Amino acid sequence: MPLLALTGGIASGKSTIATALAARGAVVIDADAIVREVQVPGSPVLAAIAAEFGSGVLRDDGALDRPALGALVFGHPDRLAALNEIVHPAVRVESQRRFDEAFAADPDAVVVYDVPLLAEARAGDAWDLVVVAHAPVEERVRRLVEIRGLSERDARARIGSQVGDAERLALADVVIDTGASLDATRRQVDDLWDRVTRPR
């Protein structure tokens, strides 16, 4: 019943790895999806965000205006830290509930926590393995510009708002290099899957 943390900077190929692991039978729990769920209208988390950042981060229907909030926090480490202090505790509670649920349903499950901000959350103690998706910064900038449509300036700001590669890689038990071909990434995922499913 291994519990893996899968992390990586923006545009590092983490989602590709998560999809490949799910195809092999892993239970993938998406931290970003949990973040969205704990920020729904009427939630204590959303109320705290509005209190901290102002009503301008809310849409007319009461939902979170993510671009407006992003404009306030990206490139501003103190503001981003304030947001993380509001959001991370609620996400940790819900994530743990889902881990427990997955292992109750199948004690032999391989559970993968897809968590972009593992290093930022300083949450490194609960995992059997920490898997880091890694690609060179310039490749990540290219992906953000060509695939996601960001300007180069915005792409670099998004990357710069996250912890550096060295800090993220320092957490790694396994590094999957996504900077080459998709086939090369898949071979590394196969090696990881063999490692975590091998009889002990």
On the question of pLDDT at 82 being above 70, the answer is yes
Angle between the N-to-C axes of helices 66-73 and 44-53, in degrees from 0 to 180, rounded to the nearest 10: 50
CATH number corresponding to 3-33+90-194: 3.40.50.300
Closest CA to 14 of 115, 152, 164: 115
Mean pLDDT of 16-37: 95
On the question of pLDDT at 160 being above 90, the answer is no
Rounded to two decimals, the pTM is: 0.86
b/e 102-137 (16+ beta carbons within 10 angstroms → b): beeeeeebbbbbbbbbbbbbebeeebebbbbbbbeb
- pLDDT, position 48: 97
Q: Where are the domains positioned within the chain?
A: 3-33+90-194
For 128, the 3-state DSSP assignment is: coil
On the question of pLDDT at 89 being above 80, the answer is yes
- Measured CA to CA, the distance from residue 37 to residue 91 in angstroms comes to 9
- pLDDT, position 136: 94
- pLDDT, position 123: 55
- Measured CA to CA, the distance from residue 188 to residue 60 in angstroms comes to 46
pLDDT digits (tens, 9 = 90+) for 101-151: 999 999 999 999 999 878 766 555 689 999 999 999 999 999 999 999 999
Return the percentage of the chain with pLDDT > 90, whole number: 82
- pLDDT, position 125: 61
Q: Which amino acid is at 169?
A: L
- Measured CA to CA, the distance from residue 118 to residue 49 in angstroms comes to 21
User: Residue written as tokens 């880091």?
Assistant: 132
User: Residue written as tokens 């983490």?
Assistant: 14
pLDDT digits (tens, 9 = 90+) for 60-70: 999 999 999 98
